[in-house]
Every structure is written in C-alpha cells, then in structure tokens.
C-alpha cells in the first residue's frame, strides 16, 4: 500500500540516494551529448563545446534543468514511496527504465518522429512498480525528452514539433497506464498497443495533412506503429527486469501457475492428491486476497507452490495414499520428521529451481510452528512421561506476510472442511472460525500485520468460497431398467 507508515532514514541513506539521483542527472546529460555527437557527426566533441559558447551555455542550462527534475522526482518518491527508494536496486531499476526508453526513443525517432515508442517508459514502470509511479516518472521522462529535443534540435525542425513530441509523450504514456491491462495475456497487451497509438495517429494526421497523400499515409502508419512498438519492446525487455531485479510481474505469475510449468507438472505426476488440494487452496487464497485488496495472482501462485515439498515423499501424505499408509510401520517421531520436512523441502526445491523467493517463503511459513497433533497423540500413547510438543511441531517460521497468513488459513480450512459431515453454511463457517481461532491462540499471526477485521473478512470469504466448492449435489432419481429415458 502506498500510504503505509514509512521508516526513518539515516544520514547515510540520504547521501546514497541523493548521489544516485545526481548520478542519473549526469548520465542523462552524457546520453544527450553522446546523441548530439552522433547526429552531428563531429569528431572532436571537446573542442566543439569550447569553441561554441552558445552550445556550452545550452548544455549548462539543460544540466541544471535535469538536476531540478531529478530533485522533484526525489521529493515525490521520498514523500510517497520512501521505503521503495531506500533500496538501491529499485532506484537503479527506475533509472535504467528511463535510460533504455531514452535510447530507444532516440533511435526510432531518427527514422520518423511519430514512430517514437512514446509510451515505453510508462508501460514498463506500470508492470514493474504501479500506476502512480508510472504516471509520475513518465512526466519526468517527457520533460527530459523535451530538453533533449531542444538541445539536439536535429530531426525536430521547429519548437512547435518539440512541444508536440512532449505532449505525445505525456498523453500516450498516461493513456497507456490506464488502457493496458497488467493482468492480461501478452497477446492482449500487444493488441492494446494499437489503442495507445490513437493520439499519435490523430496528431500525425492533423499536422501532416498538407504533405500529400503518400506522405500522409506513411506518417499515419508510423504513428499507428508507435503504441504497438512500445508494447512489443515491453514484452521483450520485461523478462530481463524480472530476472535482474527479482520482480514478479503478473506475466511471470501467470507463467508459473501454468499447469505446464516444470514444478507443477511434477506435482501433477508425483502427487496428484496434493495437486487437487492445491487447486482448492489456490481458489480460496485468491478469494481472500481479493476481499482484503491484496494481489490475487500472487496469492494464487503462493498457493500453487505451498506443498511442492511433498513431491519428495508423496506417498507419506494422506491425500496421495490409496489404502496403504507407510506411517503404520513408522515411529511417531520418524513420521513427524517426514511430515514437517515438506515445508522446508518445498522452499528448498523452489530455490533450487530459481523460482521467486516469495514462493519459497510461503512454502516455508505455511504451517508456521503448529503442532502435528496426530503424531503427538500417537507418541503420547507409547510413553508414560511427558513429551515436548515442540518436538512434534513444524519448524516455522510463522507467516511474515498477510498472503502467507492467508495460505496458512486456507490450507487448514480445505483439509478440515473435508471432514465436516453435513456441509451447511453454518457448519462450514464454524469450522473456518475454529481454524482461525486455533491459530490465533497459538500465536501464529504475531509476525505479520494482519488485523482482526481482515481475519473476519477472510473467514467470510472462505466460507462463501467453500460453499461453492462443496455444494450439495442434486440427487438424481434412480431409473428402473426398461423404462424410457426422460429425454
């Protein structure tokens, strides 16, 4: 959430972040000068600046303007997303998006000014951060591009064209933020690129109306390609950012919850019972996340992988057994060790296959430090003395995020509701309430900031969703042999 309480900064944080913002302003100037040298084809750049006082003063002016723009961007992030920019990698990611967008816009602008992928910077940030940041940084980027256009003044012959480019950058980028569906498929996102091109096409047609039919068509085609190009470059470049900065975009979440994904395929083959359980937990977790405004796709992905550790010893888990139970031949201690290992094994497998860390944490935390009551009770039967319940409990840690708390609750509810005989709404609600209260009593939510109100909303969401999963079937009347079919 954007308005969460923000942490305090030390002097070292201010210094580091200020240097990074200052560095970006300098890098933009270097890119400007580099582009200027490239389009002007002058060999000795230094003497060019020393000889031409106007050029030097222009350069100093643009440098100061860039510093001011950087400063305003810093103030925005500092007041709105302080924790986000405290992390150096996040700042580098934002600036890298801007620098890449600048280079791409410069290169395509050389072909035709209407071919510039104006919305590129905004759409990348939409997928990597959020709408608000995408809109704000796009404003900053549009201003920077305008400074560049004024400075280079190469393919834009008049200031009117420079301001048109500024307007298109702002309109096309902002429009893209509202039009492009972050939860849509890559193909749908590409198609939305055509809508993003509309303001560019309208401007191109209006401004080039007198340039002749052939030229007008050419310009309109370039303009039509602008938005599409932005979205095409986005789909190519996004995996790099996902990998380099460990960002889980909705594209990536969609891919890892695909049933053809490597680990999900293993789960289906080796532990089909667990896979079926996973599907129900995923739909419950999705409903809960929607109800308390968390990312439902992330909750779904965490649910898909929460029991992935069971593939190592699938037959030891009830849902995968068909009659034979290997625990009948094991001591309760050994059984406990096998059962509780699945949480750590899951995290281990997810990390080994380089899946996102957030999934590993969900797998590790989904049982918290809850006891495995069945084997604890079994062990008690074999001893006269006392037993430490911790020896029969999961290793933890307890859920550290709201989503992991949701996975914990949904996981337990799915298993418990199976055992409820008469699944009326009241009985299901009672079972869900018991699960949540039991975990509250055992202090399982003390490491995450979930509230009583949210737990109440989650309880209702699970009860309603489970009523849909386990609804009573309509009893079909038995047909006697020889009687004609009712159809």
| Residues making contact with Fe ion (CB under 5 A) | 307, 411
Number of Cβ atoms within 10 Å of the Cβ of 131: 15
The pair of three-digit structure tokens given for residue 378, joined into one six-digit string: 């079994």
Burial of 22 (0-12, 13-18, 19+ CB in 10 A): middle
In angstroms, what is the minimal distance from the CB of 455 to Fe ion? Answer: 19
The pair of three-digit structure tokens given for residue 407, joined into one six-digit string: 């996975």
**Residue in the structure block whose two tokens are 């047909």:** 479
Give the nearer residue to Fe ion in terms of CB position, either 202 or 448. 448
Give the nearer residue to Fe ion in terms of CB position, either 58 or 344. 344
DSSP-derived 3-state class of residue 245: helix
Give the nearer residue to Fe ion in terms of CB position, either 86 or 306. 306
In angstroms, what is the minimal distance from the CB of 356 to Fe ion? Answer: 19
The DSSP symbol for 356 reads -
Give the nearer residue to Fe ion in terms of CB position, either 286 or 307. 307
In angstroms, what is the minimal distance from the CB of 338 to Fe ion? Answer: 12
In angstroms, what is the minimal distance from the CB of 123 to Fe ion? Answer: 37
**Residue in the structure block whose two tokens are 């380089």:** 354
DSSP-derived 3-state class of residue 387: coil
Give the nearer residue to Fe ion in terms of CB position, either 141 or 394. 394
In angstroms, what is the minimal distance from the CB of 373 to Fe ion? Answer: 14
Give the nearer residue to Fe ion in terms of CB position, either 86 or 310. 310
245 Ramachandran zone, left/alpha/beta (phi>0; psi -120 to 50) = alpha
CB environment 144-161: b (16+ within 10 A), e (fewer): bbbbbbbbbbbebeeeee
Provide the residue count of the chain. Answer: 487
In angstroms, what is the minimal distance from the CB of 6 to Fe ion? Answer: 35
Closest CA to 368 of 433, 412, 302: 412
First to last CA, the chain: 56
C-alpha dist (Å) from residue 340 to 282, 365, 392, 404: 21, 11, 8, 17
Burial of 337 (0-12, 13-18, 19+ CB in 10 A): middle
Give the nearer residue to Fe ion in terms of CB position, either 193 or 309. 309
In angstroms, what is the minimal distance from the CB of 406 to Fe ion? Answer: 13
In angstroms, what is the minimal distance from the CB of 411 to Fe ion? Answer: 4
Give the nearer residue to Fe ion in terms of CB position, either 190 or 279. 279
Burial of 396 (0-12, 13-18, 19+ CB in 10 A): middle
Give the nearer residue to Fe ion in terms of CB position, either 93 or 372. 372
In angstroms, what is the minimal distance from the CB of 319 to Fe ion? Answer: 9
Closest CA to 129 of 298, 242, 13, 291: 242
């Amino acid at each position: 959430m954007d308005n969460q309480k923000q942490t305090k900064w030390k002097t070292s944080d201010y210094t580091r972040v200020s240097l990074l913002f200052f560095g970006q302003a300098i890098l933009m100037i270097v890119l400007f000068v580099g582009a200027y040298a490239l389009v002007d084809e002058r060999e000795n750049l230094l003497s060019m600046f020393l000889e031409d006082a106007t050029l030097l003063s222009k350069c100093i002016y643009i440098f100061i303007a860039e510093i001011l723009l950087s400063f305003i961007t810093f103030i925005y992030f500092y007041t709105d997303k302080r924790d986000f920019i405290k992390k150096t990698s996040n700042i580098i990611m934002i600036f890298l998006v801007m620098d890449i967008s600048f280079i791409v816009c410069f290169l395509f602008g050389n072909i035709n000014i209407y071919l510039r992928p104006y919305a590129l910077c905004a759409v990348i940030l939409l997928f990597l951060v959020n709408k608000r940041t995408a809109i704000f940084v796009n404003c900053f980027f549009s201003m920077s591009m305008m400074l560049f256009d004024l400075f280079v003044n190469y393919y834009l012959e008049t200031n009117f064209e420079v301001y048109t480019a500024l307007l298109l950058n702002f309109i096309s980028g902002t429009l893209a933020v509202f039009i492009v569906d972050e939860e849509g498929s890559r193909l749908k996102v590409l198609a939305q690129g055509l809508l993003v091109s509309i303001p560019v096409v309208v401007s191109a047609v209006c401004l080039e109306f007198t340039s002749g039919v052939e030229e007008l068509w050419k310009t309109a085609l370039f303009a039509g390609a602008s938005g599409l190009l932005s979205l095409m470059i986005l789909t190519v470049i996004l995996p790099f950012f996902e990998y380099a900065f460990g960002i889980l975009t909705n594209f990536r979440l969609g891919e890892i919850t695909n049933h053809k994904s490597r680990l999900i395929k293993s789960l289906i083959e080796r532990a089909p019972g667990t896979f079926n359980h996973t599907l129900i937990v995923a739909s419950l977790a999705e409903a809960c996340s929607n109800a308390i405004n968390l990312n439902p796709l992330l909750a779904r992905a965490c649910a898909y992988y929460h029991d992935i550790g069971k593939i190592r010893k699938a037959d030891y888990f009830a849902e995968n057994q068909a009659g034979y139970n290997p625990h009948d031949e094991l001591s309760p201690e050994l059984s406990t060790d096998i059962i509780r290992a699945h949480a750590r094994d899951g995290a281990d497998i997810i990390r080994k296959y380089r899946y996102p860390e957030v999934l590993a944490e969900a797998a590790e935390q989904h049982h918290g430090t809850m006891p495995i009551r069945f084997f604890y009770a079994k062990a008690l039967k074999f001893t006269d003395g006392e037993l430490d319940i911790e020896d029969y409990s999961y290793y933890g840690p307890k859920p550290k995020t709201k989503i992991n708390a949701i996975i914990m609750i949904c996981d337990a509810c799915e298993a418990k509701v199976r055992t409820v005989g008469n699944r009326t709404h009241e009985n299901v609600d009672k079972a869900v309430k018991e699960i949540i209260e039991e975990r509250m009593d055992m202090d399982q939510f003390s490491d995450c900031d979930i509230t009583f109100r949210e737990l109440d909303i989650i309880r209702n969401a699970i009860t309603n969703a489970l009523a849909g999963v386990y609804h009573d079937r309509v009893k079909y009347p038995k047909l006697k042999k020889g009687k004609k079919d009712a159809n």
